[in-house]
Amino acid sequence: MRFGFTEDQRRFRAHVREALRSPEVRAAAAEATGADGVEPDARPLYRLLGQLGLLAVHWPVEFGGSGRPPTDAAIVAEELVRAGVPDTFHVNTIQIVGQFLLMAGSEEQKRRYLPALARGESFASVLYTEPDAGSDLGALRAVAEPEGDDYRITGTKVFSLKTRFVDLGLCAARTTPGAGKYQGISLFLVDMTAPGVTVSLIPGIGDEHFHRVDLDSVPVPGGNLIGPRDGGWPLLNEALAVERTGLDYYLKAERWFDTALGALIDDAPDSGHEDRLEQIGRWHGALTADHVLSWEVLTGLAAGRVDQLSAAVAKYHSSELAQSVAAWAVGIPTPGQRAERTGESLILDSAYREAPGLTLSAGTSEVMLQIVTAAFESVGQEEY
């Protein structure tokens, strides 16, 4: 970016926007959008997006993509959210699990799984977090016991999204218990329809439901081990840095901010809303800076640079900003809040209920600050 887009990127963005304006996509997006705690099945929408070739544009052609630059994938992500497409399937399936496979999977694993993900015919989720471990993956207790060349995984995972709809779970488990906090961890692709997998709902206030996944001696083929046995921790560190661009949180904040502005105009179109102008200006400035910050991380990744510090800063800033915007926006009057609610009121109500989890997912704000602190302490030690 720095600090604008190329002509090719602008043409590509226009192409994506045109595709997302079709009546078929708009109708499917409306059907896939949850409200008031009801979570619809968004898979039909994603199958349509897969047919349009919009899910994994940056993947190699042999794995279902279009071979475009990684920055074009960010352009697609922006336009999907701005078109009202619920983004969780895209984030989990393409940006996290699919990207992890592209980075660390074997050629056979890539050919077996990636094309179906790119076509919107298969979906994936992440199985990292555990009830007693929280965001500390070094405290996970799930165990993968060897059975010949294969494994059986036993443990419990929590707070995954869309899990009742997915086919695959990217699961972290210990293959050598007692090896050390960050040693002996391996990563597996788990068939979510395999015997021993039980998915249950965790009660919550959001329109997207969290799930608990109980794994009771679940059979996992040895071919579903990703990377080397006991070598999961370095892969997780790199994958999390790639995941933490901040773009997905920025896009939520942008949508909520724009919706709040629309509600203000609808509430009193002739009013200048002088009492809110200063805060509106501050939010606009913060969002502009956040967008640039996310694209700095993205362009670095496109150039092959994985910068954990920049990623932690982007994730911290964007998730905290989105949470703050949601808390401010819920106070904006929207017509029909008490009776026949408008689309604006539904979006802002949903934002307020979703926002608390943003500073927890993909690493808590406290963890991001620890990464930043450790980086600066390291620089200070080198100077002295």
Residue 84 in any domain: the answer is yes
Distance CA 2, CA 186 (A): 38
pTM: 0.86
Residue 373 and residue 270 share a domain: yes
Residue 207 and residue 302 share a domain: no
Q: Give 184-211 pLDDT, tens digit per residue.
A: 999 999 999 999 999 999 987 777 888 9
User: Domain with 11 in it: what CATH number?
Assistant: 1.10.540.10
Among 111-125, 154-168, 351-365, name the one with the lowest average pLDDT. Answer: 351-365
Residue 198 in tokens = 């039980």
Residue 239 in any domain: the answer is no
Residue 353 in any domain: the answer is yes
Listed residues 122, 150, 170: the one ending a domain: 122
Q: Is the pLDDT of residue 1 over 60?
A: no
SS3 content of the chain, % helix, strand, coil (to 5): 55, 15, 30
Distance CA 164, CA 81 (A): 22
Collapse the DSSP code of 158 into the 3-class scheme (helix H, G, I; strand E, B; otherwise coil) and give the result: strand
Residue 352, domain extent? 244-383
Q: Is the pLDDT of residue 17 over 80?
A: yes
Residue 240 in tokens = 């999390």
Supply the pLDDT for residue 337.
47
Distance CA 374, CA 132 (A): 25
For residues 295-321, average pLDDT: 89
Residue 238 in any domain: the answer is no
Residue 200 in tokens = 């249950």
What's 165's DSSP letter?
G
What percent of the chain stands above pLDDT 90?
Answer: 61
Q: Where are the beta strands (DSSP E) in 162-278?
A: 168-174, 185-191, 197-202, 210-220, 225-226
Distance CA 234, CA 244 (A): 16
Among 95-104, 238-247, 299-308, 374-383, name the one with the lowest average pLDDT. Answer: 374-383
Identify the CA nearest to 247 among candidates 204, 302, 208, 210. 302
Residue 237 in any domain: the answer is no
Residue 90 in tokens = 């895209």
In this prediction, residue 384 has a pLDDT band, given cuts at 50, 70 and 90, of very low
86 touches 40 (CB < 8 A): no
Among 100-104, 225-229, 327-331, name the one with the lowest average pLDDT. Answer: 327-331
Supply the pLDDT for residue 338.
44
Residue 1 in any domain: the answer is no
For residues 56-76, average pLDDT: 95
Count how many domains the chain has: 3
Q: What are phi and psi of 343, to 5 degrees?
A: -60, -35
Residue 59 in any domain: the answer is yes
Q: Any residues with CB less than 8 A from the CB of 344 and at least 6 apart, and which?
A: 259, 262, 263, 266, 334, 335
Residue 67 in tokens = 């071979």
Listed residues 101, 122, 143: the one ending a domain: 122
Residue 374 in any domain: the answer is yes
